[in-house]
Amino acid sequence: MSYSKRGFLEIISEILNSLSTEELIKTHISFKCKLDSRAVAKYLGILLNNDLIRKSGDPVVFMITKKGNEFLIQYNKLMNLIDVFDTPNLEESVSDNKTRENPTIMQIKTEAG
């Protein structure tokens, strides 16, 4: 996975993925997901507020909830569906259809001879 310019959902899913196999402290989440401590705190807050993760213990460890696992399953299904459509080819297909439906003047002249 490329870590440059990751989107919000990508980071959320990465944190949930890391917590799906083990309970982690904030520092370990930071290392695994390659995020600074401020970003980790921000995302953990969002995940906690939405009941996707919970925290417990001393030292505090974070763990994924059932709702978090369900989110991860749906997110992965969506990403697999997007991969199936192979976006560059889809755009070419849409572009080809527009050309056929609304030919340019140059195409009309070429077809007319």
Give me the architecture of the 8-112 domain, per CATH. Answer: Orthogonal Bundle (1.10)
Distance of CA 102 to the CA centre of its chain: 35
Give the other-Cβ count within 10 Å of 10's Cβ.
15
Q: What is the CA radius of gyration of the chain?
A: 22
Return d(Cα 49, Cα 62) in angstroms, integer.
13
Q: Write the DSSP assignment of 68-102 as a string of letters.
A: HHHHHHHHHHHHHHHHHT-HHHHHHHHHHHHHHHS
**36-46 pLDDT, tens digit each:** 999 999 999 99
- Of the pLDDT bands very low, low, confident and very high (cuts 50, 70, 90), residue 105 is very low
What the block records as the tokens of 15 is: 């944190």
Q: pTM above the 0.75 mark?
A: no
**51-80 pLDDT, tens digit each:** 999 999 999 999 999 999 999 999 999 999
- pLDDT on residue 83: 82
Return d(Cα 92, Cα 24) in angstroms, integer.
44
88 or 7, greater pLDDT: 7
Q: Please say whether the beta carbons of 18 and 29 come within 8 A.
A: yes
Give the other-Cβ count within 10 Å of 24's Cβ.
20
Is the pLDDT assigned to residue 94 strictly greater than 70? no
What residue spans define the domains of the chain?
8-112
81 or 16, greater pLDDT: 16
